[in-house]
Structure 1
Amino acid sequence: MNENPIIQDINEPRIKLELKNNKLVNITVATIYELLRDIKDPEHPNTLEDLGIINKSGIKIGVIESSNIGEIESSVEKQDFLSNNDKNEMFLFKKGVSITDYGLPINYIDISFVPTIPHCSMAALIGLSIKRQLMKFVDEKYWIRVYIAAETHVNELALNKQLNDKDRVMAAFENEAIVDLIDLCLP
């Protein structure tokens, strides 16, 4: 546990989120940030924004099309996974599976977060909280990947794989104790 986390002085203006059928109407970096900024840290009374765990530069939104497929597949090969939020399930692309097997274009949202300390024991819970909030308010047509930023956690690779493993994520969301902890974090 980080006994003395640094509180960031954030001056990001608030924006009003427009929802239709409880889903975000406009998917932009600003709206995704607004959706995530008030998630509470599991160990502190502060938000992820207050602690600098999330920021706008860690949010990437895009479309995978045939023109950028090589770049994306190269990235997937390095990462070994890419998550999909299709009907609230995450699917993984593994090495040797072409993204084109899934059809194009693919809308995606990548969220990178930075734990307050490199050995944060709550990093997985923070990632699950981010993922649950996105699954709740983002249309199912978006592929969502939540991961710990490179070189910011001692178990970054293992945790990133867990955060984007559909079976582990679904099992976590079926575990009442974990869901209760996540719900305490969500605004």
Structure 2
Amino acid sequence: MVVGLINANPVVYERKERPARNDVVTDDEFAVEPIDQQEIFDHVRDIKDPEHPYSLEQLKVISEDAIEVDDVHSHVTITFTPTVEHCSMATVIGLCLRVKLMRCLPSRFKVDIRVAPGTHATEAAVNKQLNDKERVAAALENPNLLGMVDECLASTDD
């Protein structure tokens, strides 16, 4: 954990238990099941918060309802809610979401990551940073930042 926590006592919610998905397997090697909201949520729900030993789901930073998927147009939008308005880890959380989806979704998908409107003091700046290819690439070249992202994603790797 980080020393000098921004939100030292976050509200922790119970993790929702769900039955495992039964993916359909077909004889047609080209048949692909569409990617849906539940599948995206299953990929990101267990990402660890950078400051706390809880998942983004447990802190209600991410929820299934905050995910939009358009499989036909290969587009995913995730809207997350930081636990406090001045969360200094908002860009790290968004970067974790982006990297997780980069690693698990087909490359055809365009992913937009956003802070929920009105939930962060610098919402526009965070959104701009998280959706700019050059800024994301530069962030991922920073070994310290990449190490932090990898630590947050460690429990989600299949």
> Which TM-score bucket, shorter chain as reference?
0.7 to 0.9
Q: How far apart are 1:10 and its partner, in Å?
A: 3.3
Name 1:87's counterpart in structure 2: none
Secondary structure class of the residue paired with 1:45: coil
Kindly provide the amino acid, as one letter, of the partner of residue 12 in structure 2: I
Equivalent residue pairs, number: 141
Q: Post-superposition shift, 1:16? A: 4.6
Paired residues of 1:17 and 1:31 also in contact (CA < 8 A) = no
Cα gap change, 1:2 to 1:144, in 2 (>3 Å): same
Q: What is the TM-score of this pair, normalised by structure 1?
A: 0.71
Alignment of 1:109-148 (within 5 A): 109-148=76-115
1:117 and 1:184, CA in 2 relative to 1: closer, same or farther beyond 3 A?
A: same
RMSD: 1.8
TM-score normalized with structure 2 length = 0.84
Q: Which digits, 9 at most, give the CA deviation of each residue in 1:96-152, with x for residues without a partner?
A: xxxxxxxxx732000000000000010000000000000000001111001111000
Following TM superposition, the consecutive aligned residue runs of length 4 or more in structure 1 with deviations greater than 2 angstroms are 9-12, 14-18
In structure 1, what residue type is equivalent to 2:137? M
Identity of aligned residues (%): 39
In 2, Cα distance between equivalents of 1:47 and 1:29: 18
Identify the residue that residue 2 of structure 1 maps to in structure 2: 7
Residue pairs, 1:1-187, within 5 angstroms: 1-16=6-21, 26-62=34-70, 106-186=73-153, 187=155
CA shift, 1:62, in A, is 1.3
Shift of 1:15: 2.8
Alignment CA distance shift 1:61-1:2 (3 Å): same
Structure 2: distance between partners of 1:14 and 1:181: 30
Taking the aligned partners of 1:150 and 1:27, their CA distance within structure 2 comes to 26
- Aligned residue for 1:54, secondary structure, equals coil
Residue by residue over 1:8-38, the C-alpha shift from the partner in whole angstroms, topping out at 9 and shown as x without a partner, is 12324153586xxxxx965111111010011
5+ residue gaps in structure 2? 1-5, 24-31
Which structure 1 segments of 5+ residues have no match? 19-23, 64-104
More displaced stretch, 8-17 vs 25-34:
8-17
